[in-house]
Amino acid sequence: MYNNPTTSDVTIHFSGQTIHAHKATLSEYSEIFYRAFQGPFAKTSSYNITTAEYGPQAVEALLKHIYSLPYEEPSGVEEDLDWYLQLYLIAIEYRVDSFEAEVVDLIRAEIFQSKSVASNEEVFKDHCQKIEDLYTANALPMSLFNMMARQINARDKYKGIREEIIRDRDVRRQQKVSCARHDDKFVDLLNEGGGKHGKAEWLSGDFEDEVRELSKSEKRKQNYEKKTRVKKHKAARAGRRGFLEEE
């Protein structure tokens, strides 16, 4: 079904490339695609994706994931943290939760647990700083941030990194630079001996529950819309199957 011009009902355009797709499949996985193909845009036959924050390979990786194709190393792209952050950002933007989870797993396995990173404190620190800066500048979900904190806490020799993050937080306060809402709580978690949140609480998942509570009403709305969308798709598929059987 992927990139099949015969059966597709929409073409995705990005960076001069075209992928033939299906509205029902895209909408089932992504709330953004679902909204794009509703109302006055229901009959649209094309959709443009801008690639300012990520390259065309990231767009293609997202679309292949939606079509349940396994992740493959892209040609001409170095699989470093910058590449995986592109995948993470596009997964967040299009609200494809399964792809977000897969990318977090890839970053943990291919970056933080790789020998070249795990054995090099400077490289490890640079990666942590890059992720922290990303979260300071953007209101993003906590999945990648959570994973990074666990990787830091799992390594006693990186206690200095925890201390540097705390100092960086204090500097931003003095400079009156706005921090992401989760920043202070994250520092509490890294500071194992203090703060109202301890390491055990972090690992138990209570902190994640607290973060989700901040947008509980929005989550309810999204879940309701997703369930409604899935029901519509199932009904549509059942109708198509019945039509084919009658034929």
pLDDT tens, per residue, the chain with 247 residues: 899 999 999 999 999 999 999 999 999 999 999 988 887 777 888 999 987 778 899 999 999 999 999 998 888 888 899 999 999 999 999 999 999 999 999 999 988 888 888 788 888 888 888 888 887 777 677 788 788 878 877 776 666 666 666 666 555 555 544 444 444 545 555 554 444 444 334 333 443 444 444 445 555 666 666 666 666 656 655 554 454 444 4
Burial of 164 (0-12, 13-18, 19+ CB in 10 A): middle
The owner of tokens 């209101």 is 139
Task: Look at the pTM and tell me if it is higher than 0.85.
Answer: no
**What distance lies between CA 214 and its chain's CA centroid?**
18
Question: What is the pLDDT at residue 207?
Answer: 39
Query: What six digits make up the tokens of 94?
Result: 């299009």
Say how far apart CA 114 and CA 193 lie, in whole Å.
29
Question: What is the pLDDT at residue 244?
Answer: 40
Question: What is the pLDDT at residue 121?
Answer: 80
Question: What is the pLDDT at residue 219?
Answer: 57
Question: What is the pLDDT at residue 14?
Answer: 92
Neighbours of 187 (CB within 10 A): 21
Question: What is the pLDDT at residue 197?
Answer: 42
Question: What is the pLDDT at residue 152?
Answer: 78
What distances in angstroms separate CA 55 from CA 29, 64, 82, one per listed residue? 21, 15, 11
Is beta strand 17-21 parallel, antiparallel or unpaired with respect to 10-14?
Answer: antiparallel
The owner of tokens 């929005």 is 218
Question: What is the pLDDT at residue 20?
Answer: 96
Longest Cα–Cα distance of the chain, Å, equals: 72
